[in-house]
Structure 1
Amino acid sequence: MSNALSPSARRIQDLLNSLGFGPRVVEHEGSTRTSEDAAAAVGCDVAQIAKSLIFRAKETARPVLVIASGANRVDEKAVGRLIGEKIERADPEFVRESTGFAIGGVPPIGHAVPPLVLIDADLMALDVLWAAAGTPNAVFRLTPDELVRITGGRVDVVRKG
């Protein structure tokens, strides 16, 4: 790990600073692209990874950000019911255009187009979470309450099963 952050990770750290958080972003040598990789890199449980998944609302084409526990799969039908519109998986181009980041490094904040935000209720039972910080090898630490505060997200049941 080096002290100098890449431009995308620096963008997230600067945003965190503007929200009143101190240094939080950590870049790793290896990938934190998957929940399993991120958990191994930071030494936490996969459930503590707050993965940011971008979907596309079918009718309005708005980006929908679902922040889910790394241990869970998202129930797309449930998300559609929660937002009142069916959703579909977003292609890499839509993800980059709407967030400003590539898949695997999408953070929960700092998106180019403000998304509708849903937060996995399972995350609220944990003490510490780790979220992507703009690159496939950068993460930052936060609490569930901080996640809700910085995203303005609605907490609900979004997991399958």
Structure 2
Amino acid sequence: MSQPPESLAALPESAQRVADLLAGIGHDRPVVMLPATGKTSAEAAAGLGCSVAEIAKSIIFRRVKDDAPVLVIASGSNRVDEAKVAARVGPLGKADAKFVREKTGYAIGGVCPIGHAVAPVMLLDADLFRYESVWAAAGHPHAVFNFTPQQLQAMTGAPVVDVAQAAQ
């Protein structure tokens, strides 16, 4: 894998908030800024020189019964099977941009696995554990950070489950 872009001295406010959260839990890897957007898994992977599967994408759903945010952190190469997620957490609805911003504190394309405005129900894609390390959004569409899947599980306490849609 090629070297990721260098960290910038001044991070955008939302990315700095993530950097501070990571420092607070003793995470030893910096938040880095991509030269181009990382809103999609493919864009982030291209900017980092890694495979799309090594991107830990954050997908937000709205749980119907209580309007709770449901965060699925999935391998970038996987399509999330909503039926598998609903079987674990209850019926799901779509989360629009306003819901995502209100519940997470982040804009779509920058949703970080940690530091949410409202604690989400979380699930981690078991396929992430195939990789030595993965990258996730760090609060901003251009900001990312690196971690092992085991660190992600320790940070979030989320169960590791099969959320991937079967290949067709």
* SS state at 1:15 partner: helix
Report the TM-score, using the length of structure 1 for normalisation. Answer: 0.97
Residue 21 (1) aligns with residue 27 (2)? yes
Aligned pairs for 1:112-131 within 5 A: 112-131=117-136
Q: CA deviation at 1:29?
A: 2.1
**Residue deviations 1:115-142 (CA, integer Å, cap 9, x gap):** 0110001001110100000011000000
Instruction: State the partner residue of 1:52.
Output: 58
How far, CA to CA, are the matches of 1:117 and 1:41 in structure 2?
27
Instruction: Tell me which stretches of 4 or more aligned residues in structure 1 moved more than 6 Å.
Output: none
How far, CA to CA, are the matches of 1:24 and 1:107 in structure 2?
14
* SS state at 1:131 partner: strand
Residue 10 (1) aligns with residue 16 (2)? yes
Q: Does the aligned pair in 1 maintain the 2:81–2:163 contact within 8 Å?
A: yes
Aligned pairs for 1:3-152 within 5 A: 3-83=9-89, 85-152=90-157
Q: Which ranges in structure 2 are unaligned for 5 or more consecutive residues?
A: 1-5
Q: How many pairs does the alignment contain?
A: 160
Q: CA deviation at 1:3?
A: 2.1
* SS state at 1:159 partner: coil
Q: Does the aligned pair in 2 maintain the 1:13–1:23 contact within 8 Å?
A: no
Q: Which ranges in structure 1 are unaligned for 5 or more consecutive residues?
A: none
Report the TM-score, using the length of structure 2 for normalisation. Answer: 0.93
Percent identical: 51
How far, CA to CA, are the matches of 1:151 and 1:55 in structure 2?
17
